Each structure stands twice: as structure tokens, then as C-alpha cells.
Amino acid sequence: MGPKGAGPITPAQFSEWVERSGIKLVPRSWHPISERLMVVEEDATWPGSKDGYTRVATVFRASGGKVTAALRLPDLESALELAYICREMAASE
């Protein structure tokens, strides 16, 4: 599987990581959660990957027409669960 980690990075750093990692993500399904949250299920491949693709899911947060956060999870179920929790927490502010 590809690089792991979490932490704030700039859009330029994220773009550079995508290019450097060689990751390829093919979207398979889209799940709007709220105006700011979206879950996308993807088939991911990395250079040197011998197992073909790996199915993953990413939670995206957007603001002002731009993605402001992305968190890749191992499967659609866990990504949807996290996104719904985040939506409910935001609604209670």
C-alpha cells in the first residue's frame, strides 16, 4: 500500500507527494455527505505494486471551492462512518 501519515501540508506539498509517490486513483463511487464532505471510493495502484489495485476510500473536505482536507481509509465503510461522525460533530457547533 502507499505512503501513510497524517498532518497538515500545503497544497503544493500534497501535489508534490502525488507526483513523487506515483499513486494512481481511479474513482469507483461517490458519496456526498454534506455540502463540505464527500467520500470517494477508489481503486489505487502504486509503482511496483504486484497485487494489482487496492480498493480504498477517501474522505474529502471542501471549502470555498477547494479541497481543504483529504484522509484515505482502507475501505468505504470506515470512510463513510468517519464522514458521518464529522458531519454530526460539525452540526452540533
pLDDT digits (tens, 9 = 90+) for 77-93: 999 999 999 999 988 87
What are the grid coordinates assigned to 46, written together? 502504486
Q: How far apart are CA 14 and CA 73, in angstroms?
A: 17
pLDDT digits (tens, 9 = 90+) for 46-59: 888 888 899 999 99
Handedness of CA 90, 77, 36, 12 (dihedral sign): positive
Q: pLDDT exceeding 90 applies to what percent of the chain?
A: 56
DSSP assignment string, 62-85? EETTEEEEEEEESSHHHHHHHHHH
Please name which of 30, 76, 80, 83 lies closest in space to residue 54, comparing C-alpha atoms.
76
